[in-house]
Structure 1
């Protein structure tokens, strides 16, 4: 929790004043039983109506002041807790995006969602309850016992017997229930993961008729969470009856001994009632204290989970300022690149060396799992190379700031990802101030202008979450247009035309060649027809570079490329024989 104290900056005044106002309310509350005792023992006993009225009004005044203090504390607590939670959530979200893919994957998307939402809310609730009750409850407990001793120390000994018993019960219940709250948080991660996977893959699950098994798995996870929660609930449910029995027995003892002492004139009737009220205050304060401890324990467990993410440093630090680019250098250069994914047993790519000049088109082709997308991830620095170097404009990608590197690259990933909003907001994702004319030009190159113009709202056409109201081809064309709208130096198309028909694919390639001018285009595809007209073609086989050159040269020199073309009908059996 210490690591999170900096998020109180700007709210330290509320953090200090809130408990002080609550403490003032508690002090006033301690005087109420004494005033009631005086009203009974002096006013009612002697028939002094004026005394009863004036002291009654004074009690109302104390209540009003206490209410004002409580409301002020509530306000300060709300402002501080909400501000703390907002700052923490914002910083955590920003920090997540500073992590590399390796750290991002080690925590897990669904766990990060739980920490950004549920865990931050738990910490926020802990801050709120700490300001409101963490000082009030212990003060009332101790204050009630002290006030009881000022009335009659012999009867007050009942407090010294009953209070430790109540504390012991609280300790036993909490010591068994608190570890379960950590298990609850972990199980919520599991449920969040299952829910995310199943909702994201709902079509696949239905296609394979696996609804029943997935529902059963989710039900089992829910049952586990339910069992833990019920077990904790049973322990907590035992708390109030046991403590109430102890407190009621203590009240019986107070009334019993109070009656005996009253016969000898050692205590007044009103004072007995005051002692009963102090015992009730002690019980309630201890129960509130127990609930606070539970809330704070849950908050501390959540704070630890949040702190773990905040303490996680990226394994790929970036410089404060990008290094200078080298004029005349290749736009993209891979030099003896080798890379292995974290915890992988072997290299994903090895011995990859090539360069491509500004304005040229590079095609990358190879079998499934041969490392095509891995090269893109190294270019965009989602991962750092294990060996060798990747350079853009003569500068190692590790010497660029993340913002500068990604400003130079327009990426169209394999899976078309759109965001809820409009066509315009999606196209302006990388170019906030791009005018409509630039957006329409990008759409024309991406072969998407026709279907957007066919919509009644044009660029203002709504886009649902993930682009669910669009077809696969429409989503791909919009993602290509989005990358083009930012006018990058490098356009990377990672098998991003797989949902396009051959005619649209061909039109897209012609438009890219005619209208991208000095832009370097990297096209990854399973189709040889898509990349055969590229200036250079890189052929991969099981993570190794087995060919680099033009289509005609590779047909003559690269058996893997020749076999790919033959299998797709690009060439006949006799070519290259």
Structure 2
């Protein structure tokens, strides 16, 4: 709870004022039955109308104070709880931004979304009840009990028996329901993951006519969640019968024993009337406390899940005295080994010794799963090596300030991502200060200008979330232009021209040589034609270097490279480029 309450920040004042106004409200309400007893005993039975008017005026004033105090308590409770929820969401979001890829891998996207929405809402509701109801109910209970004992200590023992009975019942219900709610929120994650997967892949679902299958899968997940909620709510539903049993049991007991006390003269009618009022106050307090316990039971699982996010420490951090400048684009891998799960024994890369000069163009090729993306992810320190070192600009990447290092490295990922906004807004992710002319130049270099100029809004055309209103090749070219705007020391293209034709691919490569001649360029590709022009080509196989040299050298010495080349050129080269013999892919 300390982690959660630490997010109150500017709403601490509201959190303090809420119980203060609630306490004042309770004090006024508790005094009202006592004044009622005085009106009956001294005013009505004594035949003194002046006392009736006097005590009646006091009751009106106390009721007004109670009303205003309750309204203020409700206002501040709403402000504090909604403010806590706002700060929690912001805190979780800020924390996620500090995560490395390995941290994010431990949480699914759907799970993080559930924690920022459903779990935070549960905590918001629980906190509002805690500072309002959980303060009001115990105060009302204690004050009402105190007043009851002042009226009749013997008769008030009925309440103690009721509280002990109800406490045992509620404790058992809470323990059973808590275990179920832990499972419920994990199932929420599964349900959200299914929705996210289905919606993001809706085109594939429709292309393969799998709507019925996906509907059945979602229905099964929703049914599992419904069944668990029914089980949990079924346990919590036992709360009301237990409460009603206690309420009516207390009323019957007080009516029976109170009547006898009036007959023998040890209690007045006004005292019995006020005692009935206190009985209802005590019972209502117990009922509200049971509601708080129910909400706390539901939110306990949410609290633990959010604490997991806050307590997760980033695997990658800045050093104490980080380097602020990347001098050049030279890259050195020295004895690098890497695995996505440390201690698993499964290496994504092993024994990597690689030295790249600043300004070189390096092609990287290999089969799926050979470690191409893993290799380049280490350069901008998206992951840290298990063994060995990766150096950029003559220094280990772990010595740099993370932002400065990543500013010097532009990455066009295998999975291209565009955000909702105009084309210019997306381009300026690469450089927030870029002028429109600089954006146009980058688009010309990436061969994106030709399709942008055909759009009705040109550079002000709105891109839908995820770039769904542009084609795969157009998306790739926009992402390349965005990367060029950074004017990086190192440019990494992770299979990012796979959706463009060979002629456009060649024009983009020519533009690189003209626009960023001093930038080190790493080009991961499946097509030989995309890397054959490179200064040197790296062949990876099963996480190890299988070959490293020029196109001609690898054709002579490397079996894997030669097989890829021959398979792609067999029958006439790439699909959009006529075969020209052995040199056709160059």
TM-score, with length taken from structure 1: 0.93
- 1:221-261 per-position Cα deviation (integer Å, ceiling 9, x unaligned): 22222112112222322322332232123212222332333
Contact 1:167 1:286 in 2 (8 A): no
Query: Cα 1:350–1:123, aligned 2, differ >3 Å: closer, same or farther?
Result: same
Cα distance in 2 for residues equivalent to 1:250 and 1:330: 82
Contact 2:325 2:404 in 1 (8 A): no
Cα offset for 1:566? 1.7
Query: Cα 1:195–1:487, aligned 2, differ >3 Å: closer, same or farther?
Result: same
Q: How does 1:299-338 map to 2 (within 5 A)?
A: 299-323=299-323, 331-338=330-337
What secondary structure sits across from 1:154 in the alignment?
Answer: helix
Cα distance in 1 for residues equivalent to 2:85 and 2:528: 53
Cα distance in 1 for residues equivalent to 2:135 and 2:389: 59
Contact 1:322 1:404 in 2 (8 A): no
Per the alignment, residue 472 of structure 2 pairs with 472
Cα offset for 1:105? 0.9
- 1:52-75 per-position Cα deviation (integer Å, ceiling 9, x unaligned): 344333222212211222222223
Per the alignment, residue 273 of structure 1 pairs with 273
Determine if the alignment matches structure 1 residue 257 to structure 2 residue 254.
no
Determine if the alignment matches structure 1 residue 285 to structure 2 residue 285.
yes
Contact 2:362 2:523 in 1 (8 A): yes
Per the alignment, residue 461 of structure 1 pairs with 461
What secondary structure sits across from 1:10 in the alignment?
Answer: helix
Per the alignment, residue 366 of structure 2 pairs with 366
Per the alignment, residue 576 of structure 2 pairs with none
TM-score, with length taken from structure 2: 0.92
Cα offset for 1:325? 6.0
Cα offset for 1:416? 1.3
Per the alignment, residue 69 of structure 2 pairs with 69
Where structure 1 has 5 or more consecutive residues not aligned to the other structure, the ranges are none
Query: Cα 1:367–1:154, aligned 2, differ >3 Å: closer, same or farther?
Result: closer
What secondary structure sits across from 1:315 in the alignment?
Answer: coil
Per the alignment, residue 230 of structure 1 pairs with 230
Query: Cα 1:251–1:360, aligned 2, differ >3 Å: closer, same or farther?
Result: same
Determine if the alignment matches structure 1 residue 481 to structure 2 residue 484.
no
Where structure 2 has 5 or more consecutive residues not aligned to the other structure, the ranges are 574-579
Contact 2:371 2:542 in 1 (8 A): yes
Contact 2:178 2:301 in 1 (8 A): no
Contact 2:7 2:91 in 1 (8 A): no
Per the alignment, residue 491 of structure 1 pairs with 491
Cα offset for 1:324? 6.7
Contact 1:548 1:554 in 2 (8 A): yes
- 1:336-391 per-position Cα deviation (integer Å, ceiling 9, x unaligned): 32222216543222333333333321111122221111111111222222232211
Per the alignment, residue 184 of structure 1 pairs with 184
What secondary structure sits across from 1:455 in the alignment?
Answer: coil
Query: Which deviates more, 408-417 or 248-257?
Result: 248-257
- 1:170-218 per-position Cα deviation (integer Å, ceiling 9, x unaligned): 2333232232222222221221222222222223333344333332232
Cα offset for 1:49? 4.4
Per the alignment, residue 517 of structure 2 pairs with 517
What secondary structure sits across from 2:7 in the alignment?
Answer: helix
Cα distance in 2 for residues equivalent to 1:21 and 1:185: 35
Query: Which deviates more, 444-453 or 122-131?
Result: 122-131
Cα distance in 2 for residues equivalent to 1:498 and 1:110: 29
Q: How does 1:61-460 map to 2 (within 5 A)?
A: 61-323=61-323, 331-342=330-341, 344-460=344-460
Q: CA RMSD in A?
A: 2.3
Query: Cα 1:278–1:324, aligned 2, differ >3 Å: closer, same or farther?
Result: closer
Cα offset for 1:505? 1.5
Cα distance in 1 for residues equivalent to 2:50 and 2:450: 89
Contact 2:495 2:523 in 1 (8 A): yes
How many correspondences in the alignment?
A: 574
Contact 1:371 1:542 in 2 (8 A): yes
- 1:436-456 per-position Cα deviation (integer Å, ceiling 9, x unaligned): 111111111111112222222
Per the alignment, residue 577 of structure 2 pairs with none
Which segments of structure 1 move beyond 6 Å, counting only runs of 4 or more? none
Per the alignment, residue 59 of structure 1 pairs with 59
- 1:535-567 per-position Cα deviation (integer Å, ceiling 9, x unaligned): 221122232212222222222222222222222
Cα offset for 1:525? 0.6
Query: Which deviates more, 93-102 or 388-397?
Result: 93-102
What secondary structure sits across from 1:134 in the alignment?
Answer: helix
Query: Cα 1:127–1:146, aligned 2, differ >3 Å: closer, same or farther?
Result: same
Cα distance in 1 for residues equivalent to 2:316 and 2:212: 43
Cα distance in 1 for residues equivalent to 2:255 and 2:329: 94
Contact 1:178 1:294 in 2 (8 A): no
Cα distance in 2 for residues equivalent to 1:430 and 1:447: 17
Query: Which deviates more, 273-282 or 57-66?
Result: 57-66
Contact 1:566 1:572 in 2 (8 A): no
Cα distance in 1 for residues equivalent to 2:582 and 2:14: 81
What secondary structure sits across from 2:123 in the alignment?
Answer: helix
Cα offset for 1:289? 0.8
Cα offset for 1:285? 0.4
